[in-house]
Structure 1
Amino acid sequence: MMLSLEQRLDKIEEVIKKPSFRQNKGLGNEVGYYIFDYPAEQELVVRERIEYIRQKNEEAIDGFRIVVFDLYDIIISILKAKGYLEKCFEFEKARGFDRITKAVGNTLRLTSADSLIVNHIRERTPANSVVFITGIGKCYPLLRSHTVLNNLHQVIDSVPVVMFYPGEYDGQELVLFGEIKDDNYYRAFKLVD
C-alpha cells in the first residue's frame, strides 16, 4: 500500500525522533544522507510541514535540533553580501540566462571543495542536529542537487542530512519535477517510501 504525502510526512517525524537515526546506527557507520521525494505540485504543503516540524522541535527536550537550509535563500544572501545581486540582474539582461547561470555558479564556487553554499551550511550546523535541505526546485537550473550532495558528503559527517526533493528518487536516480533526469548516482537513502 502506498502512503499518502501526509502519511509520509508523519513518518518523517517518527523517524527523526529515533536516536538510532540521529546517531546513524545501522548504516555501517556511514553518515546518513537521505532524500525525501514528493510531487512538485505539493511544494507548499511540504514547506509548511517542514516549518511545523522545525518549530515543534525547537522546544523539544530530546537533545537535537532541526536546522533548515533553503538553498535559494542561501544563494540570494551570499550574492547580496558580496554586492552582486543587482549586478546579476544587469548581467542577465545584457548576456542572457545561460551566462548568468555560469557566472553565479563560478561566484559561489558550486563545484569546488570550498563551495560557498556548503561552507554556509557547515558553519551553521550544530552538533546534535538534523539538517533539512530545501529549495532544490527554486534553484534549478542554477544549482543541481547532486553538486550539493557530493560536496556536503565531504564536510558534514556527524549529523544526518535530509534533502527534500520535488520530484522522484528511486534509490539511485533523481528526476526533478518528474521530468528532468539527473544522470548521477547518489549514495543517499530514500527516507520514506
Structure 2
Amino acid sequence: MSNQTIPDGRSLEELQRRSEILRRRLADPSFLQNRGLGNEVGFYTFCYNPALELQVRQLVAQLKSESESGRLPCRIEEHNLYDTLLDICRERRILDRIPQQEQRRGPAALRSQLLKTASPEAFAQAICRQPHQPGSVMFLTGVGEVYPFLRVHVLLDNLQPLTAELPVVLFYPGKYTGQSLSLFNRLEDGNYYRAFDLI
C-alpha cells in the first residue's frame, strides 16, 4: 500500500499499521476466548475512513485466507449485511418482486415494508443460524450498504444474547466514540456503549 493521503487525514499507511494490530489480536488467545472484558460482551469496532472501503474489503479477504490456511489460529465467520438482507428477502420469496413494488408503491413504502421483513431480529437470527465453533471470530461487514434499512446499534443489541461465546468485529465505515456511532463520519447512527474500539 502506498502512503496515499485520504481527505480526512487518515492514510493507507495508517490502515496498514492498524491492520497489523488487528492481525495480532486475531492470534491472541485471550481475545479469541473473550477474556479480560469484565463481564462485557466481546463486541469490537474496526473503524475506517469510508474512502478506504475497497482496501478494507481486500483486508477482510486476506484475513479470511490466512485463517483458512492456518496462518491465523482462528476461524473467521464473515457476515456481509447486504448479502444477509438479500438472503432474508430470498427466504421470504420477495426478492424478485422488489423492483416492481418500488415502481408501483414508491421507495418510501418499499422501505417501510423491508423494515418489517428484514428486521434487526431477522438479521440476528439469519447471522446466527449456524452454531458457532470454538475459536471462531465473527466479522460483520457491509454496514454502509444496508443503511438506512438496518441501524447497526440495534443489530448489536439483538446479537448480544446469541454471540456471548465469540468475539464480534464490526468493520465500520465511520467513527465510534465509545458512546455513539457516526456512519461515513457524518450520519448519526445511534448511541451504543457496549463495544470496544479494537485499535
TM-score, length basis structure 2: 0.88
Shift of 1:123: 1.9
The answer for unaligned runs of 5 or more in structure 1 is: none
Among candidates 24, 27, 31, match of residue 17 of structure 1: 27
CA distance in 2, matches of 1:54, 1:191: 18
**Could you tell me which amino acid in structure 1 is paired with residue 137 of structure 2?**
V
Contact 1:171 1:190 in 2 (8 A): yes
Shift of 1:179: 0.8
Shift of 1:17: 0.7
CA distance in 2, matches of 1:71, 1:62: 24
Q: Percent identity?
A: 37
Among candidates 123, 126, 129, match of residue 117 of structure 1: 123
Shift of 1:67: 0.7
Structure 1 residue 139 corresponds to structure 2 residue 146: yes
Equivalences for 1:85-100 in 2 at 5 Å? 85-100=95-110
CA distance in 2, matches of 1:106, 1:95: 16
- CA 1:7–1:61 in structure 2 vs 1: closer, same or farther (change >3 Å)? closer
> Cα RMSD over matched residues?
1.7
**Could you tell me which amino acid in structure 2 is paired with residue 74 of structure 1?**
T
Count of aligned residue pairs for this structure pair: 187
Deviates more, 1:17-26 or 1:79-88: 79-88
Structure 1 residue 152 corresponds to structure 2 residue 159: yes
Structure 1 residue 75 corresponds to structure 2 residue 81: no
Structure 1 residue 42 corresponds to structure 2 residue 52: yes
Which SS does the other structure have where 2:194 is aligned?
coil
Among candidates 100, 118, 124, match of residue 108 of structure 1: 118
Shift of 1:102: 1.7
Which residue of structure 1 lines up, in the alignment, with residue 3 of structure 2? none
**Could you tell me which amino acid in structure 2 is paired with residue 176 of structure 1?**
L
- CA 1:100–1:79 in structure 2 vs 1: closer, same or farther (change >3 Å)? same
Contact 1:146 1:186 in 2 (8 A): no
Residues 114-147 of structure 1, C-alpha deviation per residue, up to 9 Å, x if partnerless? x221112112333320000000001111111112
TM-score, length basis structure 1: 0.90
Shift of 1:28: 1.1
Which residue of structure 2 lines up, in the alignment, with residue 179 of structure 1? 186
Which SS does the other structure have where 1:183 is aligned?
strand
- CA 1:182–1:105 in structure 2 vs 1: closer, same or farther (change >3 Å)? same
Residues 14-65 of structure 1, C-alpha deviation per residue, up to 9 Å, x if partnerless? 0111000011111114331001110111000000100100111112177530
CA distance in 1, matches of 2:53, 2:92: 30
Shift of 1:93: 1.4
Which residue of structure 1 lines up, in the alignment, with residue 176 of structure 2? 169
Contact 1:37 1:169 in 2 (8 A): yes
CA distance in 2, matches of 1:154, 1:5: 31
Which residue of structure 2 lines up, in the alignment, with residue 51 of structure 1? 61
Deviates more, 1:69-78 or 1:28-37: 28-37
Deviates more, 1:181-190 or 1:143-152: 181-190
**Could you tell me which amino acid in structure 2 is paired with residue 77 of structure 1?**
D
Shift of 1:78: 1.8
- CA 1:190–1:62 in structure 2 vs 1: closer, same or farther (change >3 Å)? closer
